[in-house]
A = this chain, B = another copy of it.
Amino acid sequence: MKVQLALDRMTIDEAKSITEEVYDYIDIIEVGTSLIKDYGKKSISSMRDEFKDKLILADIKTCDEGEYEFKAAYEAGADIATVMGTSPFETIEICYKVSKEYKKHMMIDLMETDDRKIQQLKTCEDAILFLHLPKDSENKSLLDMFQSKKQLFKDVKRIAVGGGISEKVMPGITLINPEIVVVGSFITKSKNLSAAAREVRKVLENRR
């Protein structure tokens, strides 16, 4: 299981400094949507230049213009770029094609995506399907959401989960056993950044 650190609502310098503090406990650095919309693709390339040994995910949340946006993200240094599951299927197909051309990864954010569409998305076999509890609806439960879709997900190769992840819900998450767990403010808003990241990592290690 990989830990993805979501960096949001901060400056690029703050993102760098937080990443440095928790570097040993994370596998993927997520340049959050807010960083991209605030600072542009410079936010991706700055993190790429600074942290050469980690995977970089650009949470660009593509909705349209798949080719342009995915190429821009990969060329700025991203290893993984995100597209919304609610986008037109044509857009998602184009993003998938670009990810293959660049030998990079595509993550599909399943926020608000209905089961019929998820079924269709499974044709993108190497895509990472991201079960995402939206920031604006954090009273719901990720594990409940997953349980309700268990049948649909049973033949999905790559799964990520995220949204409101904390130490408290981590044991539930390990039951899902995804490839990637996306953790944001539980680490970034913690008083002791490295202790919080270590705690997350510890729960995962115990699982192994």
Residues in A lying within 8 Å of B, measured CB to CB: 8-9, 33-34, 36-43, 60-61, 63-66, 68-69, 72, 84, 86-88, 90-91, 94, 109, 111-112, 134-137
Contact = CB atoms under 8 A, between A and B. Distances in A.
Given A33-B64, A34-B72, 7 more contacts: A33-B63, A63-B63, A64-B135, A65-B136, A84-B84, A88-B137, A94-B136
Given A39-B40, A40-B40, A40-B43, A134 B64 contact: yes
A63 B9 contact: no
With most chain B CB atoms within 10 A of its CB, the pick from A66, A84, A136 is A136
Nearest to A42: B40
Contacts of A86: 84, 86, 112
Contacts of A69: 33-34, 37
A194 to B, nearest CB: 26
A137 B40 contact: no
A140 to B, nearest CB: 10
12 contacts: A33-B63, A33-B69, A36-B37, A37-B60, A37-B69, A37-B72, A38-B40, A40-B43, A61-B63, A88-B134, A91-B137, A94-B136
